[in-house]
Structure 1
Amino acid sequence: MKKILLCFSLTVCLLSAVTIDELVKNTNENNYDLKSIDKSIEVANHQISLSKKWQNPTLSLGLNDLWLNDLSSRDKEAMQASFIGLSQVIPTGSKLEIKEKIAQKDRNIQILNLEDKKLELESKVYEYVYTILLLEKKYNLLESYEQNIKKLEALFTSLYKYQKVTQNEILNSQISALDIGLQKQNLKNMIDNSYLKLEQITYTKIDKIDENIDIKKINLLTIKQEHPKFKTLEEMANKSKNMADLEAEKKIPDLMLNVAYFQRDSKFNDYVNVSVSFPLPIYDTENTARLQAKMNMNETNDRLEQLKHNFSMQGEILKNSLNSSYTNYNLIEEKIIPIKEKIQKNIETYNSFDKIKPQESIKNLNELISYETKAIDELQKYYEAYSALLYFTNKGIK
C-alpha cells in the first residue's frame, strides 16, 4: 500500500511540474504585452489597405449671387444659380505604391517588435527558472547542513558534561544553527519572489519546475544577423528611403479635379463647371523633406552598425563570464569540495579519539557550507550569462 501511495505521489509531482518550453509557450499565448503588439499589427494591416485608396471626394453645395435686399429672389440675372459640386484629388506617379510600401514597413516593424519581445521574455523565463532551481538547491543544501549543526550541538552538549568543551562552544553551535535558519528564511523569500516574477510574465501558477542543471563551456558564439533588433532598424532605414522617394514623387503634384453643376431659373440654361488645379512646387519643400528623409536613413544605418557592434561585444563579455563561472564551478566541485569533505571526515574520526578539538569540526563544516554555496553562486552567474546570451545571440547558443 505504501509503495502504491509513493508511486501515486511521484506521478502527481511529475504531472504538476512544468518545463521551460511549456512556460515559454504559455508566455507567448497569455502575455498581454505580446497581445498588445498583436493588436498593433492588426491596425498596421488596416493601414496598408487604406494606403492604396484615393482620398475621399469633397462635396460642395451652394447658392450664387444672393441679393441682400431680396434673398429669396433667384431670377434677377443669369449669374444666380444653385450648385452642387464634387472635388477629387487624383494621385499622379507612384505615390500610392510608395505609400503602400511605407505602410508595409510599419507593419513589418511591429512584427519584428513582437519577435523581439518574445525573445526578451524567453530570456527572462530562462533566468527566473534557473534562479529558482539554484535557490532551491541552495535551500536544500542549508537544510542538510542545518541537521549536521544540530548533531554537533547535541555532541557538544554531551561533551560538556565531561568538561571537554566550554559552554561558549555550545552557544556558538547554536548561533551557527540560527544563522543557517536566517539564511534559509532569506532564501525562501527570494524563491517565493522569483516564482511570482515568473508567474508575472507567464501567467501560469507554478508549483514545481522540471529542468536539469547541465552546464557546458561555450567556445563559438554566433550573433545572428536575423536578430529582430537588427531587422527592425533595417526596416526603419528602408522606410526612410521610401519616404525620400515619396518626396521626390511630389515634384509631380497631384491633380485636383473639380466638377460642379449649376441650376438656374427656367429663363436661363443650366451649366457645368469643370476645372483642374494643382500646387506649384516652386519653394523646393519637397527637396528639403527628401534630404531630411535621407539623413534619417543614414542615421538609422549608423545606429544599426553600432548596435551590431554592441551586441557582438556584449556577447563576448557574456561568453567570458559564462566560461569563467563554468571553470570556477568545476574547480570548486571537483577539487576544493572533495578536499574539504575529506578533512571533515578526518576531523570527525580524530574527534572520536580525542585527538582534535570538537570546535574544529564545526569550523570546517561551515567552510564546507561556504564552498558549496560558492559553487551554486557560480552556477547562478553561469545561467545569468546564459539567459542574456539567448537574447543577444537570438538563441545562437541554445
Structure 2
Amino acid sequence: MKKIIFTLFCIHFFSFFLAQNADTLRISRKEAESVFLANNLDLIIQKLEISQSEARVVQAKFWPNPTLSISEVNLWRTYDIEKQPALVGNWGKNTQIAAEIEQVIQTAGKRRKNIELQKLEVESEKYELQEVLRELKNLLRNTVTEIQYNQEQQKLYQGQIASIEKLTKSYHNQLNQGNISKAEYIRLKAQEIEFKKTLVSLRQEIEEHQVELKALLMAPSNSYIVISDELEIPGKEISELELPKWMDMARENRPDILIARNKEQYAHKNLELQKALKTPDLAFTLEYDRGGNIMKDFVGVGVSFDIPIFDRNKGNIQEAKLDIEKKGYETRKTILKSESEVNSAVQNYIRTQEIYHQIDEDYESTLDGLLASHEKNFRLRNISMLEYMDFLETYIGNKMIILDTKKELNEYYENLQYVVGQDL
C-alpha cells in the first residue's frame, strides 16, 4: 500500500512540474514510465473504446421494442352504419378505429449469439489496449535509452572539449612565445573545433528524441527532459536454454496472438449467428377493431413470419465458414512469426552480452587513467602531439564501443520483452 501511495505521489509531483513552464525536467526511467501510464492520450483513448464496446454489450441484451399501430380512424361523420356506443363522452358513435401491438421474437438464439459476439468485441478491445501499450512502452523505453546514450556521449565530448581547450590555450601562449610551431597549434585547435562540431550534432540529434519523449509523456513543448539515470546494462542474464520458455510465454501473452485467436473465436460465433439467421423471426400481434367487423369490438391475436423459400442465408453462411479457415491460417502465421522474432531477439542479446562480458570491469577506469597520463605527458612534452592524438582517438573509440554495447544490450533486451509480450 505504501508503494502505491508513493507511486501516486511521484506521478502527482511530476505532473505538477509538467504544469510549470520550467525549461529542464529531471526524471528517472521508472518515473518516466509511471507518468506515461498515467498521462498518455493513446492509452486513454483505447480505454474509452473498451467502455464503448461494453456499452454495445448492454445494448445487445435488450429485446426489440413492441410496435403500436393505430389505423382505420375516420375523421368525418359516417351515416348508414350500425349504432355504436360513444367512446368518450358523446364522441365515437360514428367512428371506426383499429389498433395493433406487434412484438418481434428472435428465434434460434439470435439474441444470445449476438451478445456473445459483442462480448468477444470487448475482449478484442482489451487485447488492442495491450497491443497499444506494448508498442508504446517499447517506443518509450528505447527513446529513453537513446536519450541516455546521447547524454553519455555529450558528457564524453564535453570532458574532452574542456581538456583540449586548456591545452589549446596553453599552446597559444607557447606559440606567442615562439616555443612551438604554428602547425602544432593549428592541429590542436582543429581537434577542438571537431569535438565542438560533434557536440552540436549530438544536441541536434537529442532534440528529435526529446520531441518523441515529450509526446509520450504529454510534457510541455518548451521543456527539456533529462534522464537522471546513467546508461546501465539490463540486470538479467539471458541464456539460450530459456528459448523454449520465451516462446511459450509469447504464445500465451503476446497481444497480437491473443487478437488473432479472438478473431478466430469471433468467426466461429459469427457462423453460428449466420446459421441462426436462416430461421425466420416471429412477430406476434394483438389486435383490436371497432366498427370494422361483424363484431362491434373485435379483439384477436396473430402471428407472422417470413417463409424461407428463396433466401436461406446460404451465401453468408458459406462466407462465415471460409472466414473461420482464413482466421485459422492468420493465427498460425502470427504464432510462427512470434517464434522467429523471439529466437532472433534471444540470439542478438546473447551475442551482445558475450561481447560485453569480454570487457574487464576496470577497463573504463584504466582508459580514463591512461588518458590523464597522456595529457600530463603531452603538457610536459614527454610525448609528441601525434602520440597524444592517436591515443585520444583510441580513447574515444573505445569509450564509444562500451556505450554502443550498453545501448545495444538495452535495445535487444527491450526487443525481447516486446516479442515475448511481457516484462521479464
TM range (shorter): 0.7 to 0.9
Question: Equivalents in 2 of 1:306, 1:335: separation in Å?
Answer: 47
Q: Secondary structure at the match of 1:321?
A: helix
Corresponding position of 1:10: none
The number of residue pairs the alignment matches comes to 379
Corresponding position of 1:104: 119
CA contact (8 A) 1:234 1:304 kept: yes
Question: Equivalents in 1 of 2:202, 2:28: separation in Å?
Answer: 22
Name the stretch that deviates more: 373-382 or 97-106. 373-382
Corresponding position of 1:87: 102
Corresponding position of 1:23: 32
- Residue type of the alignment partner of 2:115: E
Name the stretch that deviates more: 321-330 or 84-93. 321-330
TM-score by length of 2: 0.78
Equivalent of 2:194 in 150, 157, 179: 179
- Residue type of the alignment partner of 1:63: E
- Residue deviations 1:307-349, cap 9 Å, x none? 1211221222233333333344455677987887787577567
Equivalent of 2:131 in 111, 116, 127: 116
- Residue type of the alignment partner of 2:184: E
Deviation at 1:286, TM superposition (A): 2.3
Equivalent of 1:72 in 76, 95, 107: 76
Question: Equivalents in 1 of 2:394, 2:360: separation in Å?
Answer: 14
1:128 is aligned to 2:128:
no
CA contact (8 A) 2:154 2:199 kept: yes
Corresponding position of 1:201: 216
Question: Equivalents in 2 of 1:124, 1:41: separation in Å?
Answer: 23
Corresponding position of 1:213: 232
Question: Equivalents in 1 of 2:154, 2:36: separation in Å?
Answer: 27
Correspondences of 1:351-370 after superposition (within 5 Å): 356-370=383-397
Deviation at 1:361, TM superposition (A): 0.7
CA, structure 1 residues 271+229, in 2 after alignment: closer, same or farther (shift >3 Å)? same
- Residue deviations 1:277-311, cap 9 Å, x none? 11222335423212211221221221111112112
Question: Equivalents in 2 of 1:266, 1:101: separation in Å?
Answer: 46
CA contact (8 A) 1:261 1:272 kept: yes
Corresponding position of 1:190: 205
Question: Equivalents in 2 of 1:237, 1:395: separation in Å?
Answer: 23
CA contact (8 A) 2:233 2:406 kept: no
Q: Secondary structure at the match of 2:287?
A: strand
Deviation at 1:242, TM superposition (A): 0.7
Deviation at 1:229, TM superposition (A): 1.5
CA, structure 1 residues 18+151, in 2 after alignment: closer, same or farther (shift >3 Å)? closer
Equivalent of 1:253 in 280, 290, 311: 280
Deviation at 1:375, TM superposition (A): 2.5
Question: Equivalents in 2 of 1:327, 1:165: separation in Å?
Answer: 47
1:60 is aligned to 2:69:
yes
Question: Equivalents in 2 of 1:166, 1:102: separation in Å?
Answer: 84
Question: Equivalents in 1 of 2:51, 2:327: separation in Å?
Answer: 26
Name the stretch that deviates more: 321-330 or 254-263. 321-330
Corresponding position of 2:13: none
Corresponding position of 1:3: none
Q: Secondary structure at the match of 1:214?
A: coil
- Residue type of the alignment partner of 2:238: I
Question: Equivalents in 2 of 1:125, 1:156: separation in Å?
Answer: 46
Name the stretch that deviates more: 195-204 or 90-99. 195-204
Q: Secondary structure at the match of 1:368?
A: helix
CA, structure 1 residues 28+350, in 2 after alignment: closer, same or farther (shift >3 Å)? closer
Instruction: Quote the RMSD (CA, aligned, Å).
Output: 3.3
CA, structure 1 residues 144+88, in 2 after alignment: closer, same or farther (shift >3 Å)? same
Deviation at 1:378, TM superposition (A): 2.9
CA contact (8 A) 1:34 1:117 kept: yes
- Residue type of the alignment partner of 2:97: S
Structure 2 unpaired stretches of 5+: 1-16, 18-24, 83-94
Correspondences of 1:1-398 after superposition (within 5 Å): 17-63=26-72, 72-76=76-80, 81-157=96-172, 160=175, 165-204=180-219, 206-210=225-229, 213-215=232-234, 217-219=237-239, 220-221=242-243, 222-223=246-247, 224-225=250-251, 226-264=253-291, 269-331=296-358, 356-395=383-422, 398=424
- Residue deviations 1:110-129, cap 9 Å, x none? 11111221222222221122
Question: Equivalents in 2 of 1:337, 1:183: separation in Å?
Answer: 22
CA, structure 1 residues 211+41, in 2 after alignment: closer, same or farther (shift >3 Å)? farther
Identity of aligned residues (%): 18
CA contact (8 A) 1:108 1:235 kept: yes
Question: Equivalents in 1 of 2:80, 2:320: separation in Å?
Answer: 57
- Residue type of the alignment partner of 1:228: P
CA contact (8 A) 1:337 1:368 kept: no
Question: Equivalents in 2 of 1:334, 1:266: separation in Å?
Answer: 104
TM-score by length of 1: 0.83
Question: Equivalents in 2 of 1:102, 1:76: separation in Å?
Answer: 59
CA, structure 1 residues 234+174, in 2 after alignment: closer, same or farther (shift >3 Å)? same
Name the stretch that deviates more: 150-159 or 238-247. 150-159
Question: Equivalents in 2 of 1:250, 1:276: separation in Å?
Answer: 18
Q: Secondary structure at the match of 1:60?
A: strand
Q: Secondary structure at the match of 1:128?
A: helix
Question: Equivalents in 2 of 1:52, 1:113: separation in Å?
Answer: 24
Question: Equivalents in 2 of 1:209, 1:357: separation in Å?
Answer: 39
CA contact (8 A) 2:233 2:410 kept: no
- Residue type of the alignment partner of 1:209: S
- Residue deviations 1:210-230, cap 9 Å, x none? 466124552234132222211
CA contact (8 A) 1:129 1:209 kept: no
Question: Equivalents in 2 of 1:118, 1:286: separation in Å?
Answer: 40
Question: Equivalents in 2 of 1:249, 1:37: separation in Å?
Answer: 32
